[in-house]
Chains A and B, each alone.
Chain A
Amino acid sequence: MEFIKIENLFFRYDEGEEDQPKNENYVIRDLSLSINKGDFVAIVGHNGSGKSTVAKHLNAMLIPSMGKVYIDGMDTADEALSYDIRRKVGLVLQNPDNQLVAGIVEEDVAFGPENLGIAPDEIRERVDEALKAVDMYEHRLKAPHKLSGGQKQRVAIAGIIAMKPDCIVLDEPTAMLDPKGRQEVLDTIHKLNRENGITVVMITHYMEEAVTADKVYVVDDGRLLTSGTPYEVFSQVELLKKHRLDVPQATELCYKLRACGVKIDRLPLFENECCALLREVLA
């Protein structure tokens, strides 16, 4: 079932200033994609490619200039629906410091459910559950500024899942974290997708993160460049390089070896896979 459907999305920022000449520079140009319930999708592209703008369209924080975005059948352009849309699609932002509201972890996680007007006992349950799901339960009484970046970001994720959304959209959730924090956050997102069946849309420029998704959309200059499974996408090494995007070193190595005439029939994404492949070739 299609949960998110974007149809020919165009977007530019200075809409509405009628007397000004309209800026023809769309940030997003004719982008279409659809995401099914339970999917783990990565949207990749470099800074300024428009990928974060796409993220903000998914929970009606931005409204299309042209085209349509449907969330579970609801049109995001309908302002009356934006509250319901935000209940279904939670957005986690890049800087964990600037999205935590309360001075105590558990109270911050409760912020969303409180806004939804849920009964106190149930909020308590949801908060505990959410904190356990991101493995932050033992830190529930701490102040956010005493936590590491990865921990703060996991609290932010707990704050979203306590609202019981069907989908979480993460806008470069690991860009400001160290490798350990990045791994923690990535593991948490995968666990939520696997065990709780939450649809995940992750915006990232780290290719190592994108390769773990079910499906990858590559955005460049506001357009959809290519999409498919990670294997389909990252085998197009030339196209990605041309648009100044990275591929994992494992993929790049095999790609370059193939260019030198070494017989490699398919390009690997992961280290183990690459090792196994090269073992066969070199043995």
Chain B
Amino acid sequence: MRDVTLGQYFPCDSVLHRLDPRLKIVSLIGFIVLTFCTFNYFSLAVVVATVIAAVLLSRVPVKMYLKSLKVIIIIVIITSLLNLFYGQGEPIFEWWIFKVTWAGIHNAIFVCLRIVCLILFSSVLTFTTSPNDLTDALERLMKPLTIFHIKVHEIAMMMTIALRFVPTLLEETDKIMAAQKARGADMESGSLVSRVKALIPVLVPLFVSSFRRAYELAVAMECRCYQGGKGRTRMKQLKLKKRDYISIAICLLAIAGVVLCNIFLPQIH
């Protein structure tokens, strides 16, 4: 349980790992929108090519990506089937309540590829960006939201602390569980109700210790002159580097590609 990390950061050294995390978040959003703006096979091909390039560039084993796809495989199959059987237009063949049309086939292909691309793009982000960098980038990207009285700094601080304490609390859960088992607690057998009941001896101490930790952490933060986000500077400055500008150019190219394909090449249906 000890080695669980939030997100699914896969530490290794690749261009994508070294990119500015802010850029990665913005491009992810951009590509997600783009994926749903593919109106013909040519633009879809551009998006699929981009995703394949990103996956290869990340140097994360393809096996890892397949694992993250496995989770949503059922959703992909169901939505594709629904689209396949309930398309508009002339049926190619019909059986009972199912009728398959050309439009249905196209829809199914599009929906399936779009969802796969969506998951792959998101996985590229989480595999190549550590949770710490991600929070950091989110805080900076959301900064403009402060004018809407959104407590951006506080939210980011909460995320940082949560990330910091997840491994500590997991470790503690392990310890408390072992200690209660040593006193004969039975957590593996019995009905659902009795299993939930068996969690009380674990959850109560865990809550108590979390409150104690929170209190001590607050004291420690105050001792270190923490006064909220006001007047606070950051050691790590995010600056766009040459590789970031190059990747911006590549992203824009992909976007332009999709838009041009949509406009100048024929729609499929």
Interface residues of A (CB under 8 A from B): 59, 61, 83, 86-87, 90-91, 93, 95, 97-104, 106-107, 110-120, 123-124, 127, 143-145, 156, 159-160, 163
Q: How far is the CB of A168 from chain B (nearest CB, A)?
A: 11
Partner of B235, one of A101, A120, A160: A120
Q: How far is the CB of A249 from chain B (nearest CB, A)?
A: 33
A115, B223: Cβ atoms closer than 8 Å = no
Question: What residue of chain A has the Cβ atom nearest to residue B217's Cβ?
Answer: A98
B164, A103: Cβ atoms closer than 8 Å = yes
Distance A83 CA – B231 CA, assembled complex (angstroms): 13
B88 interface residue per 8 A CB criterion: no
Question: What residue of chain B has the Cβ atom nearest to residue A124's Cβ?
Answer: B235
B224, A112: Cβ atoms closer than 8 Å = yes
Given A101-B161, A101-B164, A111-B226, also A93-B232 (CB < 8 A): no
Given A93-B220, A97-B168, A99-B217, also A115-B227 (CB < 8 A): yes
B197 interface residue per 8 A CB criterion: no
B235, A110: Cβ atoms closer than 8 Å = yes
Chain B residues in 8 Å Cβ range of A107 = 132, 235-236
Chain A residues in 8 Å Cβ range of B221 = 101, 111
Partner of A111, one of B163, B216, B224, B231: B224
A99, B220: Cβ atoms closer than 8 Å = yes
B154 interface residue per 8 A CB criterion: no
B171 interface residue per 8 A CB criterion: yes
B164, A61: Cβ atoms closer than 8 Å = no
Q: How far is the CB of B23 from chain A (nearest CB, A)?
A: 20
Q: How far is the CB of B181 from chain A (nearest CB, A)?
A: 23
Chain A residues in 8 Å Cβ range of B232 = 114-115, 117
Nearest 5 Cβ contacts at the A-B interface: A99-B220, A98-B216, A110-B235, A123-B235, A112-B224
Given A113-B235, A114-B234, A123-B233, also A91-B227 (CB < 8 A): no
Number of A-B residue pairs, CB cutoff 8 Å, is 97
A127, B235: Cβ atoms closer than 8 Å = yes
Question: What residue of chain B has the Cβ atom nearest to residue A126's Cβ?
Answer: B235
Interface residues of B (CB under 8 A from A): 131-132, 160-161, 163-164, 167-168, 171, 212-213, 216-217, 219-227, 231-237
A97, B167: Cβ atoms closer than 8 Å = no
Chain A residues in 8 Å Cβ range of B212 = 98
A-B contact pairs, 25 of them (CB 8 A): A83-B225, A83-B227, A86-B223, A86-B224, A93-B216, A93-B219, A95-B216, A97-B168, A99-B217, A101-B217, A101-B224, A102-B164, A103-B160, A103-B163, A104-B132, A107-B132, A107-B236, A111-B226, A114-B235, A115-B224, A117-B231, A120-B233, A120-B235, A145-B168, A159-B224
Question: Does more than half of chain A's interface fall in helix, strand or loop, or is it mixed?
Answer: helix
A145, B171: Cβ atoms closer than 8 Å = yes
Distance A91 CA – B216 CA, assembled complex (angstroms): 12
Chain A residues in 8 Å Cβ range of B163 = 103
New A-B pairs, 11, CB < 8 Å, besides A117-B231, A160-B224: A91-B223, A93-B219, A100-B164, A101-B164, A101-B217, A101-B220, A102-B160, A103-B131, A114-B234, A117-B233, A120-B235
Chain B residues in 8 Å Cβ range of A103 = 131-132, 160, 163-164
Distance A91 CA – B221 CA, assembled complex (angstroms): 10
Distance A123 CA – B132 CA, assembled complex (angstroms): 18
Given A99-B217, A102-B160, also A163-B225 (CB < 8 A): yes
Distance A10 CA – B171 CA, assembled complex (angstroms): 41
Distance A98 CA – B212 CA, assembled complex (angstroms): 9
Distance A159 CA – B131 CA, assembled complex (angstroms): 22
Question: What residue of chain A has the Cβ atom nearest to residue B171's Cβ?
Answer: A145
Distance A103 CA – B130 CA, assembled complex (angstroms): 10
Chain B residues in 8 Å Cβ range of A145 = 167-168, 171
Partner of B216, one of A87, A99, A160, A163: A99
Q: How far is the CB of A28 from chain B (nearest CB, A)?
A: 18
Chain B residues in 8 Å Cβ range of A86 = 222-225
Distance A45 CA – B160 CA, assembled complex (angstroms): 37
Chain B residues in 8 Å Cβ range of A111 = 221, 224, 226
Q: How far is the CB of B213 from chain A (nearest CB, A)?
A: 5
B219, A61: Cβ atoms closer than 8 Å = yes
Select the residue from B160, B226, B233 with max chain A CB neighbours within 10 A.
Answer: B233
Distance A105 CA – B212 CA, assembled complex (angstroms): 22
Chain B residues in 8 Å Cβ range of A113 = 233, 235
Chain A residues in 8 Å Cβ range of B216 = 93, 95, 98-99
Chain A residues in 8 Å Cβ range of B231 = 117
A115, B235: Cβ atoms closer than 8 Å = no
A90, B235: Cβ atoms closer than 8 Å = no
Chain A residues in 8 Å Cβ range of B171 = 145
Q: How far is the CB of B84 from chain A (nearest CB, A)?
A: 45
Chain A residues in 8 Å Cβ range of B219 = 61, 93
Q: How far is the CB of A149 from chain B (nearest CB, A)?
A: 12
A120, B225: Cβ atoms closer than 8 Å = no
